[in-house]
């Protein structure tokens, strides 16, 4: 299973939102600083996450992005699916029990093995919430991140590294 850089950065960004204290939104600029990407890239990322129903955007002064649901109700697999489905990530496990006979006939060699592996990875990631990861990263400050003065006052800097 190949994980796109957008999916990876989507998880990173949402974990940052989950680790933040308070209900005030994070701006695209603040998130871009956190993930070390451009504002335009971050806006594109957030648009995809918004379409998937994982974040909300508030426009105008004091606006920015917040999680659409509590962090414990958003899984890593949902973020991956926002970026990588439908072309590479099956929604349900693929195996001889769950597949139709005609589908099994069209799977050759090790295809079933790899498709099953992808499914098991997603099943595993469906059990990991953003809150699980955010709890592990809260309080860890990375030395390579932007200085606090470069961020908005309401944001906390955490790292997954």
Q: Is residue 48 part of a domain?
A: yes
Q: Is residue 34 part of a domain?
A: yes
Residue 35 is part of a domain; what is its CATH number? 1.10.10.10
Q: Is residue 147 part of a domain?
A: no
Q: Is residue 149 part of a domain?
A: no
Give CA separation, 158 vs 5, 65, 139, in Å.
20, 17, 6
Q: The domain containing residue 100 runs over which residues?
A: 5-139
Concatenating the DSSP letter of every residue in 35-46 gives: HT--HHHHHHHH
Helices (H), the chain: 5-19, 28-35, 39-51, 76-84, 101-106, 111-125, 130-137
pLDDT reported for residue 122: 84
Tens-digit pLDDT string for the chain (161 aa) = 667 889 999 999 999 899 886 668 999 999 999 999 999 999 999 999 999 999 999 988 888 999 999 999 999 999 998 987 544 444 445 555 566 666 666 666 677 777 778 888 889 999 999 999 988 765 443 333 433 323 333 333 333 33
Q: Is residue 124 part of a domain?
A: yes
- Both tokens assigned to 64: 């920015």
Distance of CA 25 to the CA centre of its chain: 17
Q: Is 9 in contact with 45 (CB distance < 8 Å)?
A: yes
Three-state SS for 139? coil
Distance CA 77, CA 66 (A): 19
Q: Is residue 152 part of a domain?
A: no
Q: Is residue 88 part of a domain?
A: yes
The structure tokens 């489905």 sit at: 85
Q: Is residue 29 part of a domain?
A: yes
Domain count, the chain: 1
Q: Is the peptide bond before 86 cis (omega within 30 degrees of 0)?
A: yes
Q: Is 10 in contact with 79 (CB distance < 8 Å)?
A: yes
């Amino acid at each position: 299973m190949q994980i796109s850089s957008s999916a990876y950065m989507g998880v990173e960004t949402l974990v940052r939102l989950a680790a933040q204290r308070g209900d005030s939104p994070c701006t695209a600029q603040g998130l871009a600083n956190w993930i070390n990407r451009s504002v335009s890239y971050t806006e594109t990322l957030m648009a995809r996450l918004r379409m998937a129903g994982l974040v909300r955007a508030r426009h105008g002064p004091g606006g920015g992005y917040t999680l659409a649901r509590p962090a414990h109700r958003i899984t890593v697999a949902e973020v991956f699916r926002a970026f990588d489905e439908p072309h590479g990530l099956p929604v349900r496990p693929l195996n001889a029990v769950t597949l139709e006979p005609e589908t099994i006939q069209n799977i050759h060699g090790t295809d079933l093995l790899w498709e099953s592996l992808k499914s098991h990875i997603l099943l595993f990631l469906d059990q990991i919430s953003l809150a699980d990861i955010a709890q592990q990263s809260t309080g860890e400050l990375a030395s390579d991140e932007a200085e606090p003065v470069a961020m908005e006052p309401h944001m906390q800097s955490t790292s997954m590294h």
